[in-house]
Amino acid sequence: MAAPDPTTIVLHKPVGYDAIEGRKLARTLITPESRWTEFATRIESIDDHFVRLTPLVPLDREDSGMMVFSQDGRIWRRLTEDADSIEHEYIVEVSGEIAPWGLRRLNHGLFYRRRELPPCKVSWQNEIRLRFAIKGAEPGQLRDMCKQVGLDVVAIKRIRIGKVSLGKMPVGTWRYFPVGEKF
């Protein structure tokens, strides 16, 4: 019997789960019972799909949204080595009063860890939510960017990595990333 193809899984991580290390790992949410069945794919779950899944593009414990786990070295290389060229989209709920020219500075003109940040796309979704489309964001960077313009972050949710969207996937569920789908 031939070995199965390497598996890649997209998870909708809830707040309170650790991406890589900690007491409550997001990886534990990936079980046959938590699979999102409304995403049409012909992949049948087998035990080998749940072994040696490496978390890629992690999220902080207090953030939610799209995470990727993979056994495939090609996906790992794409999401790590090409990280600065893949756009991630976040919805960031904020409180406070934005500083004058704050939105313009969020788009370009801020520093993080003593380095100037490249331009990104930030826009208001409504009175309390910002949409960030950004490449190569580091852990804590979005919170710091908001703080620099007078805003406090209430919640962060990643909704897209490259061309792949979270869509309507419920929190705490996962789906297979089909062969041929590209970030």
Yes or no: is domain 87-161 CATH 3.30.70.1560?
Answer: yes
The answer to whether the beta carbons of residues 62 and 46 sit under 8 Å apart is no
pLDDT at 102: 97
Q: What is the pLDDT of residues 85-97, one digit of tens each?
A: 999 999 999 999 9
Q: pTM of the prediction?
A: 0.93
- Candidates 149, 141, 120; CA nearest to 60 is 141
CA dist 62 and 155 (Å) reads 8
Can you name the CATH fold of 8-82+165-176? Alpha-Beta Plaits (3.30.70)
Hey, where are the domains in the chain?
Answer: 8-82+165-176, 87-161
The answer to whether the beta carbons of residues 134 and 181 sit under 8 Å apart is no
Higher pLDDT residue, 38 or 110?
110
Do domains 8-82+165-176 and 87-161 share one topology? The answer is yes
Band (pLDDT 50/70/90 cuts) for residue 38 is confident
